[in-house]
Structure formats: C-alpha cells, structure tokens
Structure 1
Amino acid sequence: MGVTEVEGSDRSLEPFRSELLAYCYRMLGSSHDAEDLVQDTYLRAWRAREQYDATRSSLRTWLYRIATNACLTALEVRGRRPLPSGLVAASEPLAPFVPGENAAWLQPLPDSLLEAGDPAGAVIDRSSLRLAFAAALQHLSARQRGALILRDVLGFSASEAAGILGTTVVSVNSSLQRARVRVKEVGVQQDRLSEPSAAEQRAWVERYMKAFENADVEGLKQLLTEDVLMEMPPMLNWFAGPDNYGVFMEWVFEQAGRDWVLKAVAANGQAGFAAYRRVETHTSCTRSRSSPSPPRASAGTRCSRTPRSSRPSAWRPDSTPRASASSSDASGAAPRAFVEGCSGTSSW
C-alpha cells in the first residue's frame, strides 16, 4: 500500500473507522469527543496522504499514530473526566440534587455508534469498553493511557506502540508499568472476564424490564448486587446499595407514575434497555445494561445524565465489577445493573 491506497480513502480507510472510534473513546472517555476526533483523524490522513510510506508501517498503524496525536492534543485541553463518587462523599437517596455543571463527565458509548461505523463487523474487544475500565483510565496520564490501550488492549508490540506514541520503547514500557499499577490500585482487573452469552445477558435485562414495567421495586432490588452504585451526572449525588436504590426507585414510581414504554438497547458492549415515560410536556429516558457477576466483587463507578427538575425523573444505578471475577458464575448470582437516565426528547 502507498499513496494510491490512501487516495482511495473510502475503500482503504473506512474499515478502520469503528476500531478508531473505540480507541478514541477509551482515550477520551466521551463518545461525542471520540466521534469528533475520528473525523479529525480522517481529515489529517487525507491531507498527509503524500507522507504515507507503506515500507515503514501499515496503513492501520499510520492511522493510529494520527489518531493518537489528535487524542493527546485534545487531552492537554480537556483533561480527565471524573465521576461523582470520585469527587464527593455519598449522599442520601432522597437528598436534594447538587449540580456539578462545570465538570466534564465520563460518558457511555452506545453500541449503535460502533455498528454504524463498522458495517463489516470488525472484531473489537467490547470488555475493554466497559465503563469501569473507562473510569479507571481517567486516573492515568495521557501517555499512560495510550501505552496501556495500545499494548494491553490492542496488542501492538512495544516498538509499534513507541512509533505510534512518538517515543522510545523504554518510555513505552515505563508508562505501561505505571499504568498497570495505577489501574490495579483503583480496583479494576485487566484480565478479561468470562462473558455470558448474548442470550444470557438479554435474559437478565428482560427480567429487569419486567420488574420495571410492574414497578416492582423489590424485584428490581433482587437483580442487584450488594455493592450496586448509582451516579447521576451532571448532579454530584451518588449512593450505593440495594436499599438506597429501592428508596430512590419508590420515589421515582411515585412521582413519575408507572406508564412507561421500554425498548432494548446496548451500550459499552452490554445489553440494556431504554424506558420512556409517557408525559405531555417531555419524554424521560432510562438506559440500562447488566451482566452477571459474583455478589462479593467490589463496587465500580459510572456516569449518566440527569434531568432538569429538583428531583430526578430518571436515574442510573451501576456496579460493574472492579475485582477479578467470572461473569458466567454457575451459582446464579444476580447481575450488576447499569441504569442511566436523562430528561429531554431524545436518547441515544
């Protein structure tokens, strides 16, 4: 491949769009920023097509180098994306909301974005898109993120990663070592979990949806682990545990009623659902995903968007595991649920 290959950009570059989107999302923690950076990457690639040398690197590696430079530049300005549980102490489930409007929150990545950019179905490690892992990456420097993702997620060699990051192999290895230690300190296990099948994931979500439709708070609580965590950016409020979750959900059904329309969705590689409340003035939406895991794994941290009112008309509990565990545990442990809500007229 050479300049001619790059000039046929629609054919040669498009197959990489989905994996570049996933890469930029891992680096930035924002689906919106990731989309912008992928577009910027393709524009830069087209402008620099005369500089591409197929004898020095593959087209894929060359694109990752461009995308990485764009991400590193963006991170100099945008910095890390925190979560409420990393900023303030836990609150009571019925406490007044406290806005955290100046923070840039970690965002989920709808699976539909990857599918839209990848009609051919490229292989992407969806487990590395989990919000728990994305949250852990926020504790790393920009170059540590790059080294960890390129080496441990994407499988580039140390020399390839050095070329992409524009540094030395020694520097890459040093950044990788520090990144691994830091990720372990914040409680995320890098080893891939044993994922349940798509049918198993959907079965858990369908049980959750059924309980939701029936406003069965006790049924919903039974589908959560003891360390379930609920966060609602841009509000600073967050709390943990099924009991607090139950108190909050009782309030939700009391205030918002029980007339909801549910739709299956997926985000960050996991099955979920959207719940739309029937109202005259606006529509509320709730997103959920869940995956089975042992009940004693430690809590995770997540993000979401929250409504305009003094109390939420939508919500989000979540506890993707930080500890090492098998997601296909034969004991029948309840799933860790992720629910995200927003007030407005549209969802993903």
Structure 2
Amino acid sequence: MATIKDVARHAEVSVTTVSHVVNGTRHVSAEGRERVEQAIRALGYVPSAIARSLKRNNTRTLGMLIPNSSNPYFAEIVHAVEDRAFGAGYNVILCNTNDEPHRQGSYLQVLAERRIDGLIVVSTGQDATLPTQLAGLQVPTVLVDREVEIDEQPGDLVETAHMQGGLLATQHLLALGHRRIACIHGPAGLRPSEQRIAGWRSALAAAGCEHGDALLWNGHFTSQGGHDAMQAMLAAHADAASAPPTAVFVCNDLMAMGALCAAHERGLRVPESLALVGFDDIELAAFTSPPLTTVAQPKLRIGALAVEMLLERIDGRRQAARQVMLQPELRVRASTAAPSADVPDPASSPSLAFRP
C-alpha cells in the first residue's frame, strides 16, 4: 500500500506539499498540485482518515445506536438519519445493540475510539449505566424515541407523544362502538410501551369501560410475541364466561402482524370478528391482509430532526438542551370496523366465543 512518502517521491515534492494538497490546508501551485494528484492516481494512494481527523479535529462521522435492526420501525428511522447526514457531508456508523445493555456499552466504547463527531441513541431497555457512559463520551448526543434519566442538565431528545398515540388508537375503537378493548404491549418498564398503555387506560376510563390486567398482554415488541400474546388471549377467553374483547390495541406494528396471523389461524375474520389497531405505521402495515389501521409516527421527521439537532451542537450554533415532542396521527385502514351484529353474544353462549 502506497504511503504519503511514496507519493512525495513520485511527484518529486516534499511530504508537506502532499499533505497540503490532500488536506487543503495551504495553497499549492497548479503545477505542484497536478503532479501530486497524478502521483496519487498512479500509486492508488488512499489518505489516512485517522490522520486527517487528527489534523482537522473532526471525522465527519456520526454514530448511531439502535436496539433492534430487525424492526422496520428502526430501519426507517435509520434511513432518514443516513439520508440527512449524507446530505450534510457525514457518514454514519450504525450499531445494533440487540436489546442487550452490555452490548450497548461495548459499542459506545467502539464509537469513542472511532472519534465520532456526534451520537444518536435509541436506548436499550433498562440500563442504569447509560447516563454515565454518555457523559463520559463527551460528544454531542441526541436521544431518539426513548428518554434516559440523567441527573445533570437534560440532553437533546426527539420523540413521539406515545400516550397520545395510545389515546388515538383506543378512541378510534370506542368511536366504532367497541367497549371491551384489549391491549398487547411491549417489554415491561420500557417507557414508550408504558406510555402507550397509559393512553389505552385513559381512553377506556374516560368512556367508563373496563381496562384491567385481564385485558393486558405482553408481546415483547416482536411479531412472534404478538402472535403468542394473541393466541394466549384467545385461548383464555375461549371457555371463559366473561365476554371476550371485540377489539385489540397492539402497541407496535410488528406485534400487530403477529396478532393478525394468530387471529387468521383461529379462523377469526378481521375486522368483522375482531378489530385490530397497531402503532408505528411501518411501510409493511399497508400491505397486510387486511391492511392495518395504525398510529403513525413521523419517522422521516424524527430521523432528519435528530441529525439537525446534532449538527446544531457540532457546529456550535446551539448550547441549550432542546427536547422536541412530535404528534402521532391515526391511519385508518381495513383492520378496524364496528362490532359485527353477526358475532354471537359470548356472555350467553361462552362456548361460541371467538368463532368466526
């Protein structure tokens, strides 16, 4: 591999001259620049990014942590982040923590060694060490989607109003005439999930409807978890004397897809026998059968805004913390409808519960 000294010898100039041409740090005559550029092409010389970053005190690189790369919601946010960063002349190093706190800490160390200029974090579950790790990194940081408790001055944050989204989903089902509405939620203790549950509870309480733990099921924010939760819910009510839910608010679209599959496996017609609402509005939600009614998060806006906030810090245009709360919107599709008059009353005929 050619070195800067090889380029200098080939161009018959000093190493300093080559450095100035490569880094643009001082004027070099047109003749000298041409000789250096010809030597670079002839030798296939690739300048050291590390050396250049040391000279400029920046790497034009951003780091990003996400908890699950298999979730299309995060993939769509990453796409928005990379698109905006590329337009601003930055590269993005993406790290998938796989919802593991120890992996999150390891990746933060790797990003620190890469001398990133800024960091975007979608945090992993319960990790009490994260605030200390972020403070030790000493680079501008923007939190996305999930808040992190920090004792010192709060940092930058961009997220969706999760509780409002839960309200929108449940109010939509109530407006259709549903009164017994179950909820499939994500991991316990994860703030977005807890806030969406709070929205569900609030809407049901305001309508005078039941909202106890018997209607609450954990799907772990995965399609398999949503499938398992729906199966367990249907089995629990199949032989029960109490009326089964006629609708389900599912706290993310991946779980909703799993729940939809489980409903189909039981021969349930959606939405005639059971209405479903998801959360996130990932691209695939419009292509399920039936297309999924869901609460849309402004994912493109979230990603672009996170980069904008980071660049404000990097460029020294802002010092004070900035926290932005974006509003969700309901996307009504074919997975919700009014309760069907054809569905038998399970209170009078419990053995018919959840049959199509």
TM-score tier by shorter-chain length is under 0.3
TM-score (norm 2): 0.24
**Which protein has the larger Cα radius of gyration, Structure 1 or Structure 2?**
2
TM-score, normalized by length of structure 1?
0.24
